[in-house]
C-alpha cells in the first residue's frame, strides 16, 4: 500500500507528538530518528517551531535538548481535534 505523503501540519504534529511521548523533552538525535526526516529538513522545522514559540532549546548537562511549550501543546490538541472532526465527518 502506498503511504500518503505527509503535509506540513502532519510533520509538525509528528514532531510535537514525539516530544509529548517523551514527556515534553527530547534529544535532537531522538527527534531525528522519530520524525523520519532528513537532517536539513528537521532543522528547518525546528527553527520554525522555535520561532513560533511551540518549543524551546535548553542545555541540560551540557547537551542540547528540546522542550515543548504551551503553544506546542495547544497546537497538538487543535490538530488532534481537526483530525477527529475530519474522520468523524468523512472529510
Partner 1 sequence: MVFESVPYGLPSYVFSPNWFYGFDSIIELIAILVSILLVYYSYKCFKLTKEKKYLYFSAAFLSLTFGFIAKIIGTLAIYKPSITRTALGSSIHEAFTGLTPYNINAIALVMHFFFMLLGFMILFLIISRLTWKNQRVIALLVYFVFIATWLSIIHYQLFYFTSFVLLSLITYSYYQNYREVKSKKAGFVTIAFGILLISQAFFVFVIYSRIVYVLAELIQLLGFVYLLIPFILIFRKRPRIIK
> Which stretches of the chain bind partner 1, using CB under 8 A?
7, 9, 20, 23-24, 70, 73-74, 76-78, 80-82, 84-91
Q: What's the closest the beta carbon of residue 35 comes to partner 1, in angstroms?
A: 19
Q: Which three-class secondary structure state does DSSP give residue 60?
A: strand
**Is 64 or 82 the residue whose CB approaches partner 1 more closely?**
82
- Give me the phi and psi of 81, to 5 degrees please: -65, -45
Beta strands in 15-82 (DSSP E): 25-26, 55-60, 63-68
Residue whose CB is less far from partner 1, 58 or 81: 81
Amino acid at each position: 500500500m502506498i503511504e500518503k505523503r505527509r503535509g506540513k501540519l502532519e510533520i509538525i504534529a509528528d514532531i510535537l507528538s514525539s516530544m509529548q511521548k517523551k514527556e515534553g523533552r527530547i534529544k535532537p538525535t531522538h527527534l531525528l530518528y522519530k520524525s523520519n526526516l532528513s537532517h536539513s529538513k528537521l532543522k528547518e522545522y525546528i527553527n520554525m517551531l522555535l520561532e513560533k514559540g511551540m518549543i524551546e532549546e535548553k542545555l541540560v548537562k551540557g547537551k542540547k535538548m528540546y522542550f515543548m511549550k504551551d503553544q506546542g501543546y495547544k497546537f497538538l490538541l487543535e490538530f488532534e481535534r481537526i483530525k477527529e472532526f475530519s474522520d468523524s465527518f468523512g472529510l
